[in-house]
Amino acid sequence: MEYQVTCNECGKKFQITADSDSTINCTCPYCSHALSVVIPRAMIQGTAVPPIQQPINPQQPITSQQPTSSPTPQQPTSTNWTKVLLIVLIVLLVAGIGAFAFIQCNRQKEQNVQEELIRQQVHNDSIMRVRKELENKAVVDAQTQQRQRAICTFIESFYRKAVLSGNTDGYEFYQRYLTDYCAKMVFGPGTNEGWEGWWDAFGNGTDEPNLKRLLNNLRVTHDQGDWYNVRLSQNGQTKFRKIKVKIEDGHTLIDDIK
């Protein structure tokens, strides 16, 4: 009986003839590889049909796979591919979450930096604004104090030349330093005329003034607003006059007396 054998060395197929032996030793006619072919006894006794029975054809021999042929490697199953795909998806998901967290962290850091810069800028602007306000206030205060000192000097000079000089006729020259309102108060109805009215308005009210003492003790200080205090002191007696000044066309004038 003829059988078709596949060489487990070169993979070529050839035919052998076997009668009674269950094991046939043969050689591959293509690669000269020695083979030992085991034929099942049932096939020898005729109780079983060979796996493939076809008429012998020189162009296409009958194929009979024997137990000695090389086993086919096992291919990966669909379950393995599912596991691989699941692992890849998990890795991609973890990587995506990590990248998203990294980006968000960087954005938060940048936002914090920007907020800190804004806070610093606002703080610096606030400091600069307060400093500027303080500088402006200092300038205004300095100008105000300078103006007050100048007015104090004016009033003191006015008193030394127009009131305490002892020249009872010189007051007429200094009437130009009175506003119309003040001149009416000094020489208006119900007041003394001439030097008496002048002394009543600006003097210390005594009939016998000690001009030397009054000059030595003369002090002019700022009171509030446009009002200034004039201290007139002699022989232990002190009288204060309040003088209000007014600036007209750049000139300092006396506007009121109390």
Report the chain (258 residues): mean pLDDT per 10 consecutive residues. Answer: 87 82 83 84 50 37 42 59 90 92 91 91 91 93 94 94 87 90 85 83 86 92 95 91 92 93
Region of 85 please: left (phi>0), alpha (psi -120 to 50) or beta: alpha
What is the pLDDT at residue 71?
43
d(CA 257, CA 202): 8
In a domain, 65, yes or no: yes
Which amino acid is present at 140?
V
Domain boundary among 11, 39, 70: 70
Residues 253 and 159 in one domain: yes
In a domain, 120, yes or no: no
CB 27 within 8 A of CB 34: yes
In a domain, 234, yes or no: yes
Q: How many domains does the chain have?
A: 2
What is the pLDDT at residue 21?
57
CB 222 within 8 A of CB 152: yes
What is the pLDDT at residue 67?
43
Residues 66 and 159 in one domain: no
Question: In terms of C-beta density within 10 A (0-12 exposed, 13-18 middle, 19 or more buried), how is residue 228 classed?
Answer: buried
What is the pLDDT at residue 150?
94
In a domain, 237, yes or no: yes
CA dihedral 176, 181, 242, 237 (to 10 degrees): 70
Domain that holds residue 226: 155-257
Give the count of alpha carbons within 13 A of 256, CB side only.
9
CA dihedral sign, ordered 112, 115, 120, 121:
positive
CB 233 within 8 A of CB 220: no
Domain boundary among 41, 70, 99: 70
Domain boundary among 25, 54, 70: 70
In a domain, 129, yes or no: no
d(CA 248, CA 154): 15
What is the pLDDT at residue 154?
95
Q: What is the CATH number of the domain that holds 245?
A: 3.10.450.50
In a domain, 202, yes or no: yes
In a domain, 33, yes or no: yes
In a domain, 92, yes or no: no
